[in-house]
Structure 1
Amino acid sequence: MSGEHAAYRPRRSVLYMPASNERALEKAKTLLVDALILDLEDAVAPDMKEQARENACAAVRSGDYGRRELTIRVNGIGTRWHEEDLAAACAAGPDGIVVPKVGSADEVRQLVAAMEAAGAPEHTMLWAMVETPQAMLHCEEIAGASARLAVLVMGTNDLAKELHAEHVPGRQPLMAGLGLCLLAARATGTVILDGVFNNVKDPEGFEAECLQGRQMGFDGKTLIHPGQVEACNAAFAPSDAQVEEARGILQAWADGAGSGVVTYNGRMVENLHVETARRVLDIDEAIRALESSAT
């Protein structure tokens, strides 16, 4: 457990940026976002795919994005751009390659083999988007298919489309799929990111969905607009009160070592509470280190 904590990397806010838009790529250098997905897929028109690919790879190679984790979303398996996208991304060596609509463990193994054949450096991990009923039902197999798969990304828009579901506050139609993927992520030790919130003019709705995602257990959320970054970072970071409580629990545990029964603020403290408190402090420490580093 402690090794997992030590390796924690903040991915509270993960922003999609269309790689065809050079102004957007420039702006991304100044955003207080934990990670960027330089998009070659949905946000890019067919006649701009090659230019977007060149822009994304140049951005990765530039070294101009500071502490931000950089990933490239390639076009999906079976599209005419996929193989060239994957080869170019592997050569550029981002932190991750995001692949849409991953539906099976076999596809994960196929992608990892292709990455290795293309010479992807060891630090370049696979981020798999899970966004279909098939992926929901086989998510544990997908998440456990390769050590190179580091992150699951919920594709909630596509999932809603496939389910014939409506977008409603609280996301009840999507909860079964979200829950299955969360279980798969935790069972396999994989990071999992919540899907996007579509209405950029509804900050209250966005904050409510961030809170829901954090309460469910997501590690962070994918975003479609820079204006969503600040609220997302706040939502997925431990509050001051949570940090204070975690320190109090650990102090009570240390003070009561050997006594058999430990209490904090009138509540019994068990090992599971100690583990949770340590995780809160590890996350807080990692976020503070990230935010104090050079942009």
Structure 2
Amino acid sequence: MQTRPYRSALYIPGSKDRALDKARGLPVDAILFDLEDAVAPDAKVAARDTLNAALTTGGYGQRQRIVRINGLDTEWGKADTAAVAAMDCDAVLLPKVNSTDDVDALAALIPDLPIWAMMETPQGVLNAADIAAHPRMAGFVLGTNDLAKDLNSRGRPALATSLQLCLLAAKAAGIVALDGVYNAFKDEDGLRAECVEGRDMGFDGKTLIHPAQVAITNEVFGPTADEIDLAQRQIAAFEAAEADGQGVAVVDGRIVENLHIVTARATLAKADAIAALEST
């Protein structure tokens, strides 16, 4: 079970010095430095140097630094890959992954950097289990806008099957799964509702397009005080029951078994990791 926090993953254009600098002070768990959709075609070449300079300067603390390149089938993809291989980052994010062949192609060019996959095509969703199981795969990012376009669908409910297939594949492989973006960045109620839905489905966090979305996302995807308290009491009760030769305990009128303790300990580990991240 994933304990390192990935509550919020904010897209930052790799071409914008001001945005790259501002990201150093944002309370996000991960930054998706973008060389793809957020960068205009005539700025893509210069964006590599701009992003490399920002990452070399550093100052991003314990935030995960993930760079999204252009697809290898584009005129920028291979040069992006060569640039990222020399950058001080934690992972590379490949857009529009359709199969393990796409992952193999990137892995051959960057032999030692964890790979994340944008899951945003129908073919990719249908191959999600194989992609997640690839030995270099570290995380899924759901590209819900592109997926909705390809499906010609309207509304979040129409994506439910795709979201769940990708989530099942990620959980089976033990990798991170991040929900897609919420486009209406000024709609706090809508964002909160979609975060709650994604959290309850099992996503580790959500990708964001605006700093104004960070606080709500961190709140929803982080353990609450009540959840931390319950986890502590479950562990204490179960350990006491074990010491008495019992295999189960009762907390708040509910049976507590070992499987609940696994979740409880993961909750506390995540809370500790969040506290450590926010103290840096």
TM-score bracket, shorter-length normalisation: over 0.9
- Alignment-derived partner of residue 271 in structure 1: 258
Q: Secondary structure at the match of 1:29?
A: helix
* Counterpart contact for 2:248–2:258, Cα < 8 Å: no
- Alignment-derived partner of residue 31 in structure 2: 36
Query: 1:130 is aligned with what amino acid?
Result: M
Distance between the aligned counterparts of 1:223 and 1:40, measured in 2?
A: 16
- Alignment-derived partner of residue 85 in structure 2: 90
Distance between the aligned counterparts of 2:264 and 2:69, measured in 1?
A: 38
- Alignment-derived partner of residue 213 in structure 2: 228
* Counterpart contact for 2:247–2:257, Cα < 8 Å: no
Distance between the aligned counterparts of 2:266 and 2:74, measured in 1?
A: 41
- Alignment-derived partner of residue 132 in structure 1: 121
What is the CA distance between 1:66 and its match in structure 2?
A: 1.7
* Counterpart contact for 1:15–1:33, Cα < 8 Å: yes
In the TM superposition, 1:29-108 aligns within 5 A as: 29-108=24-103
TM, length-normalised to structure 1: 0.92
- Alignment-derived partner of residue 143 in structure 1: 132
Distance change (3 Å), C-alpha of 1:15 and 1:261:
closer
Q: Secondary structure at the match of 2:153?
A: coil
- Alignment-derived partner of residue 241 in structure 2: 256
Distance between the aligned counterparts of 1:90 and 1:234, measured in 2?
A: 34
> CA RMSD, aligned part only?
1.1
Query: 2:122 is aligned with what amino acid?
Result: P
> What whole-Å deviation, never above 9, does each CA across 1:149-186 have from its counterpart, x for those lacking one?
111100000010011001x3xx1100000000010001
In structure 1, the gaps of 5 or more residues are 117-121
Choose which of 137, 146, 160 in structure 2 pairs with 1:175.
160
Distance between the aligned counterparts of 2:88 and 2:94, measured in 1?
A: 15
Query: 2:173 is aligned with what amino acid?
Result: T
Q: Secondary structure at the match of 1:218?
A: coil
Between 256-265 and 213-222, the greater mean CA deviation after superposition: 256-265
* Counterpart contact for 1:191–1:219, Cα < 8 Å: yes
Distance between the aligned counterparts of 1:176 and 1:260, measured in 2?
A: 37
Between 255-264 and 26-35, the greater mean CA deviation after superposition: 255-264
Distance change (3 Å), C-alpha of 1:152 and 1:261:
closer
* Counterpart contact for 1:56–1:72, Cα < 8 Å: no
Distance between the aligned counterparts of 1:175 and 1:209, measured in 2?
A: 12
Distance between the aligned counterparts of 2:193 and 2:133, measured in 1?
A: 31
Q: Percent identity?
A: 49
Poorly superposed stretches of 4+, deviation over 3 Å: none
Distance between the aligned counterparts of 2:200 and 2:144, measured in 1?
A: 17
Choose which of 180, 189, 198 in structure 2 pairs with 1:213.
198
Query: 1:241 is aligned with what amino acid?
Result: D
* Counterpart contact for 1:73–1:100, Cα < 8 Å: yes
